[in-house]
A and B are shown apart, each in its own frame.
Chain A
Amino acid sequence: DGGITQSPKYLFRKEGQNVTLSCEQNLNHDAMYWYRQDPGQGLRLIYYSQIVNDFQKGDIAEGYSVSREKKESFPLTVTSAQKNPTAFYLCASSIGTNKNYGYTFGSGTRLTVV
């Protein structure tokens, strides 16, 4: 079945560490997105990529980095510069720039700083 796989489901990070969240899709979608979800805040866009080897900052990109070396993969690194990284992170994909189609979301990674 086609879909988006995020791993790990739960992740614990010590202060000062960088961690990388994995996102893989087999939907052949061109566009991929990373959202951060905090209680009562909705989904906020961190980074997005419309095509391989290209990505753009979203509304809250500070302290995060991404890469898009393959169409299927869009990993997110939470760096030590992100002061409040504890959150639920969601990866999504869509067919492309045509917004006539909805987003498909992964099941998320819950990151906790310990």
Chain B
Amino acid sequence: QQPVQSPQAVILREGEDAVINCSSSKALYSVHWYRQKHGEAPVFLMILLKGGEQKGHEKISASFNEKKQQSSLYLTASQLSYSGTYFCGTEDSYGGSQGNLIFGKGTKLSVKP
């Protein structure tokens, strides 16, 4: 039931773009995205609800393809502060996870000067 994130890790130079994918085998009601810096708490970035919406947060945006049961996080013109591990959390449409979020294993993003 755990969503699958890809890639597992990515290294960027400042200013480069990246895409992180989150795929589920279940029909989804919502997808959350969080960023966690080493040893710190995950920080909420955005939530996408079924309906195929796309959301933006500064230079970080995301899409949710309900039919494909997947979400993608887009990081544009990356900055050093974008470094961290990105997690997606999914909620099943049919209550399979009791309405709670199931998190992927994370994608480690490193932005170099």
Contacts and interface: CB of A to CB of B under 8 A. Distances in A.
B41 A90 contact: yes
Interface string B84-98: 000101010000001
Nearest to B33: A102
Given A33-B100, A42-B87, A100-B49, A105 B42 contact: yes
A99 B44 contact: no
A100 B47 contact: yes
A90 B44 CA distance: 14
Interface stretch (B10-18, B64-72, B103-111): B103-111
Interface string A10-53: 00000000000000000000000101000011111100100000
Interface in A92-114: 97, 99-108
Given A42-B106, A48-B100, A99 B43 contact: no
A58 interface: yes
B98 A43 contact: no
Contacts of A35: 103
Among A33, A44, A102, the one with the most B-chain Cβ atoms within 10 Å of its Cβ is A102
Contact of A102 (B40, B47, B100): B47
Contacts of A41: 105
Contacts of A104: 44
Contacts of B29: 99
Contact of A105 (B43, B45, B91, B105): B43
A106 B39 CA distance: 11
B2 interface: yes
A42 B91 contact: no
A85 to B, nearest CB: 19
Contacts of A82: none
9 contacts: A40-B105, A48-B100, A97-B99, A99-B99, A101-B47, A102-B44, A105-B41, A107-B41, A108-B41
